[in-house]
Amino acid sequence: MFTRKQEKVRWHERYDEDAVKAAEDELETQHEEKLERERVSRQREREERDRRERHGRERREQEEVTRRMALLRSDLTNGLKNYRVGSKTNIARQGIDHVNIAMFGPAGGGKTSFIQIAETILLGRSTVITQSDAKEGTIILLESLTDLKFHLFDTGGFFDLNKSMHQELNNILTGRIRPSQIIAREEDRGSLPAGQPMREGPVPLTERMHGVICILGHKDPKEYSVKMQAIRKGLKEEGYSPVGAVAFESERDYINGKERERQMVKMSAAMGSPRDRTFAFVNHIATGTHISAESAIKVMDTLDTALIAAEGYIKVQQQRETYAKERAKSTDPEHVSIREFMVQIAAEHYWSESKVDETIRKLEDEEIYNVAGLKQFWDEVKPTMSLGMRSVFQSVLFPK
C-alpha cells in the first residue's frame, strides 16, 4: 500500500507542468506558422495575378507597338524609303533631286542617336559618327541618308556660341557653308587649319536647307529657351517651319506620360514649333539600350513631318522666285541685269570684285534682279549702301 508521500511523487511523475507548457507553445507556433504560410500563399497568388496582368498589359502594348511598327515598315516601302521630291505636297521639282534637312542642337543632345535610328530603320545599317568632341571653333556638316531622296545634315560646333549662333545657323541654312567644310573663326586661329571661305552670292535653292529639325535633351528645353529667341525669329523670317524632338536620357521619364508631355510642351515653346510638330524618343546611346520600336516610330514621324514642312518651304521659295523674275521682266522690257549694271559701274569707279559681288548678293536677296527693279525699290535699299556707292547709283539711276 502506497503512502501519501509516495502517491504525490507518482502524481508529479504523471503531470509535468513544463512539458504541458512546451506542448501548448508548440501548438501555438504551429498555428502561427500555418497562418503565415496561408498569408504568404495569398501574397504569392496576388503577386502572380498582378504579374500576369502586368505581363498581359505589356504584351498587348508590345503587340500594338509591333503592329504599328509593321505598318510603319510597310508604309516605308511607299513612303520614306522610296520618297521622291514633291510626293508630300505636289510641288514642282524644278531640278531638285533631293530635300536637305538640317538638324541642330547641343552636343550630346541626341542628334547622333536620332540619325542612327533613322539609318538603321531606313538603310538597315548605321554609319554616323559622333560630333560631341568637335571644337567650338569648328563647324562641320555631316551628311547622312545619302542613298535616299532626302538627306540629313548634322550640324556641329555652333550651338554653344552666343551672339554669333544665329548667324552661323543662317549661313548653314542658306548654303553658304557646305557639307564637310571646316570654318575657323578669328578666336581659333593658330589652333585650327585655315578655314575654307564661305560661299558668296546667291545660292541655288537646290543647295540650301529646306527643312529644320531641332533636337534637345529632355533637360535642355527650359535651359535653351531664352537663348533660342534669335533662332526662332530667324527661322520664321526665312520661312522655315521647324520640327522639334526631345531626346530622353531616361527610359523611366520617357515612359512617364505626364513627364514626357511636359517636356514636349517646353520643347514646343523653346523651338517655336507647334505641339503637333514636336516629338519624343529615347536617346539609346545615352541610356545604353537597344533601339526600341516606339522610338523608331517617333523618329519616322519626325522625319515625315519635316519632309512636309520642307516641301512647303520649297514651294514658297519657288513662288517667290517666279514672282520676282516675272516682276523684273514686266517692269522694263529692255531691262539690264543687276550684274551687268554693277560690272559697268565698277569698271568706271574702280570698285573691287568682292564689293561688287556683295552688293549683287544683297540686292538679289531683296529679289531685285535688274535696273528697273532697283529703280522701283531704290528708297528701300539705298540705306543699306555706303555713302559713296549710294551717290553713284543715285546719279546713274535718276540723272538730273
The pLDDT value given to residue 246: 93
Distances (CA, A) of 91 to 55, 327, 376: 48, 22, 31
pLDDT at 191: 46
Q: Is the dihedral of CA 88, 228, 266, 151 positive or negative?
A: positive
pLDDT tens track, the chain, 400 positions: 555 555 555 555 555 677 777 888 888 888 888 889 999 889 999 988 988 888 888 788 777 766 766 666 566 545 788 888 988 887 877 788 999 999 988 888 899 999 999 998 888 887 765 544 444 445 567 888 988 999 999 887 666 656 667 777 888 888 888 777 766 555 544 444 555 667 777 788 998 999 999 998 887 777 777 778 878 888 888 889 999 999 999 888 888 888 899 989 988 888 888 889 999 999 999 888 888 888 888 999 999 999 999 999 998 888 888 777 666 555 454 467 888 888 888 877 778 888 888 888 888 888 888 888 888 888 888 888 888 888 888 888 888 7
What string of DSSP letters covers 128-194?
Answer: ----TT--TT--EEEEE-TTSSEEEEEEES-TT-STTHHHHHHHHHTTSS-TT-----GGGBTTBPP
Per-residue confidence (pLDDT) for residue 242, from 0 to 100: 93
Which residue's entry shows cell 495569398? 42
Supply the DSSP symbol for 245: E
Give, as one character, the DSSP assignment of residue 367: T
CB burial class (10 A; 0-12, 13-18, 19+) of residue 63?
exposed
pLDDT of residue 133: 44
Q: What CA–CA distances, in Å, run from 263 to 67, 114, 245, 303, 352? A: 27, 17, 10, 20, 52
What pLDDT is recorded for position 312?
Answer: 92
Measure the CA–CA gap between 66 and 295, rounded to whole angstroms.
Answer: 12
Q: For residue 349, what pLDDT is reported?
A: 78
Per residue in 181-192, pLDDT (tens digit) is 766 555 544 444
CA distance 324 to 337: 13
Question: Cβ neighbours of residue 217 under 8 Å, at least 6 residues apart?
Answer: 106, 108, 109, 110, 246, 247, 248, 249, 283, 286
What grid cell was written down for 146?
Answer: 545619302
Q: What pLDDT was estimated at residue 189?
A: 47
**pLDDT value at residue 101:** 96
Residues in the chain, total: 400
pLDDT digits (tens, 9 = 90+) for 232-262: 888 888 889 999 999 999 888 888 888 899 9
Q: What is the pLDDT of residue 373?
A: 83
Q: Which residues contact 198 (CB under 8 A, 6 or more apart)?
A: 171, 176, 177, 183
